[in-house]
Structure 1
Amino acid sequence: MKLKRFLLRYYPPGIILEYEKGGEVKTKSIDLLDLTPSTNVDTLVEDIRKAEPLVTASRTQQVKHLILRLQEKLGQHDSHKFYLFKVLRAHILPLTNVAFNKSGSSFITGSYDRTCKVWDTASGEELHTLEGHRNVVYAIAFNNPYGDKIATGSFDKTCKLWSSVTGKCFHTFRGHTAEIVCLSFNPQSTLVATGSMDTTAKLWDIQSGEEVVTLNGHSAEIISLSFNTTGERMITGSFDHTVSVWDVGTGRKIQTLIGHRGEISSAQFNWDCSLIATGSMDKTCMLWDAANGKCIASLTGHEDEVLDVCFDYTGQFVATASADGSARVYNATTKRCITKLEGHDGEISKICFNAQGNRILTGSADKTARLWDPNTGQCVQVLEGHTDEIFSCAFNYEGNTIITGSKDNTCRIWR
C-alpha cells in the first residue's frame, strides 16, 4: 500500500487518505467527529499514527498541518446575516421541493406544473427546464457529491434520470403502480432508490436504466427513504407505522423498527451509521441502534405530529420539527431535550442543520423560514417575504446561501 495524497474534509471534519493497492487507487477516511478548536493536536496525531499504518513518521507534520486547518475552520463563529438576493418566479404552479448540488453552484425546484427546473445560484438564471413527466414532480435530488445527474420522482408513477449539465433525459424508470413520493441516490451514485404509495421501494441501476430489485414488506405507503453514508444500508419509513432497514447489495430486509403508534414522517441515519432517528405522527421521535434495530430512546415533548427529523454532522444532536409550531434539539447521547425553538406561528414541515452544525433552518406554514442557534435556542434571523407556506428549504454546503420554496410558486435565494 502506497499513500498518494491527503484530502481534507471540513464537514464533518476528517482526512481522506488516497492510496494505491495492487495498482488500484482507493480511499479511506479518518473521521475526526470529536475534534474541537481546543483538541491537543500532538496527542491526536500520535493516536492517528498508531492506528493508521499509512500515516508514517515522515507524514506527521503534514497531518498536523491539516488538523490545524480543520481546527481553524471549526473555530470560525458564524454571525452571517442573510439578505434576500433574488425572488424567482420559478413555476406556474406551487413548488414541491428544492435541493442544492454539493458545491451550491446550482439548485433544482420541483413543481405541480410537472417540471423540474435547474438554476444557477450566483445569478438566479434558469439553466434548464426538465420536461416530460405527466403529473406533479414531487421528489427531486442531485447525485451529490458529483452533481452531474438529477433524479425526479413523479405522481405519474415514474422516475426520470437527467443530465444536470445538458438537461437531457437518460432514463425513465417504470414499474411503480402508484405515485413516487421520495427518492435518493446512493453515495456512490450507482443506484437511485424510489419510494412509492404502492407500498414498495425500488432500486434502479443508473448506467443501464434497469430495475435492480423491488423492496417488498411494508403494508402502506412509503413516505421516506435514505441511505447510510457507506451506501450499504437503506431505510424506508411508512404509513404502516414501521421503518425497515434493507441490505442494499441483496435487497434483503434486515430489520423492522417497530414502536411508533402513528405514520412515519421522516427517517435518517447519523453520519457514522450507528443511529437511526425516526419522526412520527404519534408526536414522538425515536432513536434506534442501527446495528440491532432496538429502540434506545423515545424523544417526547411535542404536542402534535413530528413532521421532520435530522442529525447534525457529528450525529450527537437530533432536531425535530412539529405541527405544533415548535422545533426541538435533543442530545443523542443523553436523550435529553437541550433547547426548544419557539417563534413560528404555524406548523414546521422542514428542519435542517447547516454542514457546520452551528445553525438550524426551519420552514413553516406561517410563510417564514427561521435561523436558530441550536445551543441556545435563540432565533437569530427570520426570513420573511413569501406570501404562502414554505415547505422546503436548504443550506448550501458552505452554509452561506439558503433557498426557500413556497406554495406561492416562488423560490427565494438568500445570501
Structure 2
Amino acid sequence: MKLKRFLLRYYPPGIILEYEKGGTVRTRSIELLDLSPESNPDELLSEIRLSEPLVTESRAVQVKQLILRLQQKLGQQDRHRFCFFKRLKAHILPLTNVAFDKSGSRFITGSYDRTCKVWATASGLELLTLEGHRNVVYAVAFNNPYGDKIATGSFDKTCRLWSADTGRCFHCFTGHAAEIVCLAFNPQSTLVATGSMDTTARLWDVETGEEVATLTAHRAEVLSLAFNTLGSQLITGSFDHSVAVWDVASGRCLHTLEGHGAEVSNVQFNWDCSLIVSSSMDRTCKLWAALSGQCVATLDGHTEEVLDVCFDLSGQLVASASADGTARVFSTTTHQCLVTLEGHGGEVSTICFSPQGSRILTAGQDSTARLWDVRSGVCLQVLEGHTDEIFSCVFNYEGDAIITGSKDNTCQIWS
C-alpha cells in the first residue's frame, strides 16, 4: 500500500487517507468524533500511529498539523448571525424540498409544478430547470460530496437522474407502482435508493440506470429512508409502524425494528453507523442498535406526533420536531431530554443541526424558521418573511448559509 495524500474533513472531524493498493486508488478514514480544542495532539497522534500503519514516522508531523487545523476549526465560536439575502419566486406552485451541494455554491428546489430548479447561492440566479416529470417533484438530492448529479423523485412513480452541470437527463428509473416520496444517493454515488407509497424501496445503478434490487418487507407506504455512512446498509421507515434494515450488497432484510405504535415519519443512522433513530406519529422517537436491531431507548415527552428527527454529526445528540409546536434535544447516552425548544406558533415539521453542532434550525406551520442554541435552548433568531408553511430548511456545509422553502412558492436565502 502506498499513501498518496491526506484529505481533511471538518464536519464531523476526520482525516481521509487516499492510498494506492494493487493499482487501485482507495480511501479510508481516521474518525476523530471526540476531538475537542482541549485534546492533546501528541497523545492523539500516538494513538493514530498505533492503529493506522499508513501513518509512518515520516508522515507524523503532517498528521499533527492536520489535527491542529481541526482543533482550530472546532475552537471557532459559531456566532454567525444570519441576514436575509434574497427571496426567489422559485416556482409557480408550492415547494416540496430544498438541498445544497457539498460546496454550498448551488442548491436545488423541488415543486408541485413538476420541475426541479438549480440555483446559484451567492447570486440567487437560476442555473437550470429540470423538466420531464409528469407530476409533483417531491424528493430531491445532490450526489454529495461529488455534486455532479441530481436525483428527483416524483408522484409520477419515476425517479430521474440528471447532470447537475448541464441539466441532461441520464436515466428515468421506472418500476414503482405508486408515488416516490423519498430518495438518497449512497456515499459512493453508485446507487440511488427510492421509497414509494407502493410499500417498497428500490435500488438503482447510477451508471447503467438498471434496477439493482426491490426491497419488500413493509406492509404499508415507505415514507423515509437513509444509507449509513459506509453505504453498506439502508434503513426504511413505513406507515406500517416499523423500520427495516437492509444489506445493500444482497438486498436482504437484516432486521425489522418493531415497537412504534403508529406511522414512522423519519429514520436516520448516526455517523459511526452504530445507532438508528426513528420518529413516529405515536409521539415518540426510538433509538436502535444497528448491529442487533434491539431497541436501546424510547425518547418521549412530546404531546403530539413527532414529524422529524435527526442526529448531530457527533452522534451524541438527537433532535426531534413535533406537531405539538416544540422541538426537543435528547442525549444518546443518558436518553434524557436536555432542552425543549418552545416558541413556534404551530407544528414544527422539519429540524436539523448546524454542521458545528452548536445550533439547531427548525421550521413549520407558522411560516417562520428559528435558530436555537443547543445547550441553553434559547431562540437566537427568528427567520421571517414567508407567508405560508415552510416545508424544508437546510444549512450549507460550512453552516453560514440557510435555505428555506415554503408553500408560498418561494425560497429564501439567508447568509
Q: TM-score range by the shorter chain?
A: over 0.9
Asked if 1:84 corresponds to 2:62, the answer is: no
- Please report how far the alpha carbon of residue 355 of structure 1 lies from its aligned counterpart in structure 2 after TM superposition: 1.2
- Residues in 1 aligned to 2:351 and 2:217: alpha-carbon distance in whole angstroms: 29
Alpha-carbon separation, structure 2, partners of 1:21 and 1:189: 21
Q: Which residue of 2 aligns with 1:163?
A: 163
Paired residues of 2:96 and 2:392 also in contact (CA < 8 A)? yes
Counterpart position of 1:254: 254
SS at match of 1:49: helix
Aligned-residue CA RMSD in angstroms? Answer: 0.7
CA–CA separation in structure 2 for the residues paired with 1:69 and 1:404: 31
**Corresponding residue number in structure 2 for 1:182:** 182
In the alignment, residue 313 of structure 1 is paired with which amino acid?
Answer: L
Q: Is the 8 A contact 2:78 2:356 kept in 1?
A: no
Aligned with 2:314: secondary structure?
coil
Aligned to 1:109: 109
User: Counterparts of 1:278 and 1:121 in 2: how far apart (Å)?
Assistant: 32
d(CA) in 2 for partners of 1:145, 1:18: 15
Distance, in Å, in 2 between the alignment partners of 1:292 and 1:302 is 27
- Secondary structure (helix, strand or coil) at the match of 2:308 reads strand
Aligned ranges for residues 7-406 of structure 1 at < 5 Å? 7-406=7-406
Could you tell me which amino acid in structure 1 is paired with residue 403 of structure 2? Answer: I
Aligned partner letter, 1:291:
L
Counterparts of 1:65 and 1:403, CA distance in 2: 34
**Structure 2 letter corresponding to 1:287:** L
Can you give the 5+ residue segments of structure 2 that lack an aligned partner in the other structure?
none
TM-superposed CA distance for 1:23, in Å, is 2.1
Q: Output one character per residue of 1:172-223: Cα deviation in whole Å (capped at 9) or x when no partner.
A: 1111110000001111111111100000011111111111110011000000
Contact residue 98 and residue 404 of structure 2 kept, 8 A: yes
Question: Does the 8 Å CA contact 2:201/2:222 hold for their aligned counterparts?
Answer: yes
The superposition leaves residues 54-103 of structure 1 with CA deviations (integer Å, 9 ceiling, x where unpaired) of 11122211111110110000000111111110000000000001001111
Task: Find the aligned partners of 2:49 and 2:177 in 1 and give their Cα distance.
Answer: 54
* 1:250-293 alpha-carbon deviations (Å, 9 max, x no partner): 10000000000000000000000000000000000000000000
Contact 2:218 2:238 in 1 (8 A): yes
**Corresponding letter in the other structure for 2:84:** L
Q: Residues 157 and 174 of structure 2 are in contact (CA less than 8 Å); yes or no, is this contact kept in structure 1?
A: yes
Contact 2:235–2:245 (Cα < 8 Å) also in 1: yes
Measure, in 2, the Cα distance between the counterparts of 1:5 and 1:128.
Answer: 35
Q: 2:48 and 2:141 mapped to 1: Cα distance?
A: 36
Taking the aligned partners of 1:193 and 1:352, their CA distance within structure 2 comes to: 21
Unaligned runs of 5+ in 1: none
Secondary structure in 1 matching 2:91: coil
Which secondary structure state, in structure 2, belongs to the residue aligned with residue 129 of structure 1?
A: strand
Q: Distance in 2 between matches of 1:7 and 1:207?
A: 26
* More moved, 236-245 vs 349-358: 349-358
**Aligned equivalents of 1:385, 1:191: Cα separation in 2:** 38
Cα distance in 2, alignment partners of residues 94 and 199 from structure 1: 26
**1:408 aligned partner:** 408
SS state at 1:225 partner = strand
Whichever residue aligns with residue 28 of structure 1, its letter is R
Instruction: Name the amino acid aligned to 1:407.
Output: K
Q: CA deviation at 1:391?
A: 1.2
Q: Distance in 1 between matches of 2:24 and 2:181?
A: 39
- The CA distance in 1 between the partners of 2:2 and 2:161, in whole Å, is 37
State the SS of the aligned residue for 1:399.
coil
Query: Secondary structure of the residue that 1:255 maps to in structure 2?
Result: strand
TM-score by length of 1: 0.99
Q: Distance in 2 between matches of 1:47 and 1:186?
A: 30
* 2:348 maps to amino acid: I
User: Which one-letter code corresponds to 1:178 in the other structure?
Assistant: A
Q: 1:28, CA displacement in angstroms? A: 1.0
- CA distance in structure 1 between the partners assigned to 2:8 and 2:352 by the alignment: 24
**1:341 aligned counterpart, secondary structure:** strand
Letter in structure 2 aligned against 1:267: V
Secondary structure of 1:250 counterpart: coil
